[in-house]
Structure 1
Amino acid sequence: MTLTASYERCRRLHARYGRSYYLATRLLPRWKRRHVHALYGFARYADEIVDSFTVTGDRARALDRLAARVEDGLAGKPVDGDPVLPAFLHTVRSFGIDHGDVAAFLASMRADLSVTRYATYDDLLGYMAGSAAAIGTMMLPVLEPEPGRAEAAREPARQLGLAFQLTNFLRDVREDHARGRIYLPMADLDTFGVHPDELGGRRARPAVRELLAFEAERARAHYRAAAGGIGLLTASSRPCVRAAVELYGGILDEIERRSFEVLAGRVRVPRRRKAAVFARHLLGSAQAGRAELRVRVELP
């Protein structure tokens, strides 16, 4: 597995499983894209381990092996034969990505092996700190904050990760229930009088829709908290992030348009809307990319 092949494997994982964000990454300068693909590919690779095996013990052993290979790789040891880790580790080293964020992500993946419900939203935030917020902060060095703005950009990056994942939770309520997991807080289900088994049904009664509307407003609050961070990024990354926000926010819009009926079928942003979002940001992306290339180095 060459480094080039590993990056290509990550790109394919991203293209297959993260279509909205993958479309947005096409607005990045070419050199940045493969690093975003590497981070997404690693996250998806770990997520597939958690979801793909039918026996919990098998999942735990596979996740242990992945964590051990990551630890070895971060320590500079070879990880020959792995399809994803060469690209991921190269990206981590290239951008000085915080190893603590990597550990936090893997800890949340391990939680999925045993934790199937969260009592309160604070408990869910604890899980998402690793599964989502840490992904946002791992992406941040690749997306490049403006000089001196990295610390200020960190919390908006965390908030955007939380917003994206909560959006996914709302869209995937029925699929998660089928896997034996409920990510909406139990306290909120109690407040709205929703029995957990209702989240696996074919139709959402009014109480379920009210619950989902409440959680959707939480997601929008995370989007608002993240909004100020886009202007802290280098200009060539802003069109990508703006497009990603519009596309994921579009999922919330579609859920709302369907009156929060997410149990009857998977909610998707129409292709025409995706294409319009991409086209709207394409010119700005090209202009920012050309501006970066025009930067001149003064030679003595």
Structure 2
Amino acid sequence: MSARTELDAAGIEGPALRAGYARCRAINAHHGRTYYLATLLLPPRKRPFVHALYGFARHVDDLVDDMTTRLSRGQRAERLEEWSADFLADLEWGSTSDPVSRAVIDTVQRWQIPTSYFADFLESMRMDLDVTAYETFEDLTRYMWGSAAVIGLEMLPILGRADPGTRWDVLESHAIDLGTAFQLTNFLRDVAEDLRRGRVYLPEESLRRFGVDRDRLARGQVDESIRNLLAWEIERARGLYASAAPGIDLVEASSRDCLRTATTLYADILDEIERADYDVFSGRVQVSVARRAAVGISGLRGALSARRAAPPRPTG
């Protein structure tokens, strides 16, 4: 389905605004992979807003981690600070000339998403420029609140609540767990890549428990201590997925297959790490194309069935 069809279904008008949403969709399609695939399982009327949230997060992440510009840490920090100040001012004002920000601001206004979530995300991105390790999982969780949990919370109004009687804080708890599980899965897959950027996202207390230090990780040789460390954190991530799972049935039926697909494919990364004998150093562990296709097709069948079963939306 084309970007134009999605924008029409979402009631997004005006060439500048539509161009902003189209830009976010292109960012999601290029970088998102699993996230983009899952987004396509949502009804067309919801997709542009999810593209906008992803486009925002990816754009800011690139400001922090883009090594192709050869900017120093201080220069990247200055660039992030300037962009963040402009974005938050534009968010408060309700208007901007930046195409990505324009789509995000429109999404925030339509779905009444708390603006504090975006400030918290930007604060975690600032931490990436200064913090290179986390002593405890609680310390890491404070980082992941801004880098992952708030993204789940931003999504909730768009995904919708199946039963108006469901307490919103219950949905929020599941969304936080799922966003954190996704983030921790990324950390486990990207140990080597993060090391090259000077960061270790696995808690220092976990490293000490299994006799692993930064130098040992940097050597990139999988031994029993590293296997035990990664196995420990994989089980932590699986516990978060299990805690988040009941929340899928609490969102609107038309949104469930999006969540199921994303959850399945992200959790599959943990299986692939185990299948690779915990070697997260030789190359990026990935879910096979065949597996992604099978899960995506299954999700598509479910999504289409949910749309057929949904009552017609009011037109007036």
Smaller-chain TM-score range? over 0.9
Work out the CA distance in 1 between the residues paired with 2:210 and 2:217. 13
State TM-score, norm by structure 2: 0.90
3-state SS in 1 of match to 2:105: helix
State the alpha-carbon separation in 2 of the partners of residues 72 and 129 from structure 1.
Answer: 22
Residue 43 to residue 295, structure 1, CA distance change in 2 (3 Å) = closer
Flag structure 2 segments of 5+ consecutive residues without an equivalent.
1-14
Aligned length: 297
Percent of aligned pairs with the same amino acid:
49
Distance in 1, matches of 2:139 and 2:19, equals 39
Contact residue 159 and residue 252 of structure 2 kept, 8 A: yes
> Structure 1, unaligned stretches of length 5 or more?
none
Residue 157 of structure 2 is matched in structure 1 by 141
Three-state SS of the structure 1 residue aligned to 2:259 is: helix
Q: Are the counterparts in 2 of residues 192 and 211 from structure 1 also a CA contact under 8 Å?
A: yes
Q: Displacement, 1:103?
A: 1.2
Matched, 1:87 2:103: yes
Q: 1 CA distance for matches of 2:28 and 2:285?
A: 19
Aligned to 1:287: 305
1:102 aligns with 2:118: yes
Kept in 2: contact 1:173–1:263 (CA 8 A): yes
* Counterparts of 1:17 and 1:200, CA distance in 2: 26
Higher mean C-alpha displacement, 96-105 vs 158-167? 96-105
Partners of 1:40 and 1:295 lie apart in 2 by: 26
Structure 2 residue identity aligned to 1:144: G
Match of 2:35 among 1, 10, 21: 21
User: What is the SS of the residue equivalent to 2:76?
Assistant: helix
Provide the rounded CA distance (Å) in 2 between the counterparts of 1:73 and 1:284.
39
Shift of 1:200: 2.6
Trace 1:203-242 onto structure 2 (pairs within 5 A).
Answer: 203-242=221-260
Structure 1 ranges of 4+ moved more than 6 A: none
Matching residue of 2:195: 177
Distance 1:31 1:62, change over 3 A: same
Q: Is the 8 A contact 1:145 1:232 kept in 2?
A: yes
2:50 matched residue in structure 1 = 36
Which region of structure 1 is more displaced relative to structure 2, 29-38 or 11-20? Answer: 11-20
Does the residue aligned with 2:180 lie in a helix, a strand or coil? helix
Q: CA deviation at 1:209?
A: 1.2
- CA shift at 1:14, angstroms? 1.1
Q: Distance in 2 between matches of 1:172 and 1:296?
A: 45
After TM superposition, the structure 1 stretch with the greater mean CA deviation from structure 2, 189-198 or 242-251, is: 189-198
SS at match of 2:93: coil
> Which residue does the alignment assign to 1:245?
263
Q: Measure, in 2, the Cα distance between the counterparts of 1:225 and 1:183.
A: 22
Give the structure 1 partner of residue 76 of structure 2: 59
Deviation track 1:64-115 (CA, whole Å, cap 9, x = no partner) reads 12211222222225321x2310111111111011111111111101111100
- Larger displacement relative to structure 2 (119-128 or 195-204): 195-204
Return the alpha-carbon distance in structure 1 between the equivalents of residues 156 and 52 of structure 2: 13
Report the equivalent of 1:9.
23
Q: How far 1:291 moved relative to its partner?
A: 3.0
In the alignment, which residue of structure 2 is the partner of 1:48? Answer: 62
Output the aligned Cα RMSD.
1.5
How far 1:295 moved relative to its partner?
4.6
**What's the counterpart of residue 73 of structure 1?**
90
Residue 248 of structure 1 deviates from its aligned partner by 0.2
Question: Structure 1 counterpart of 2:309, which letter?
Answer: A
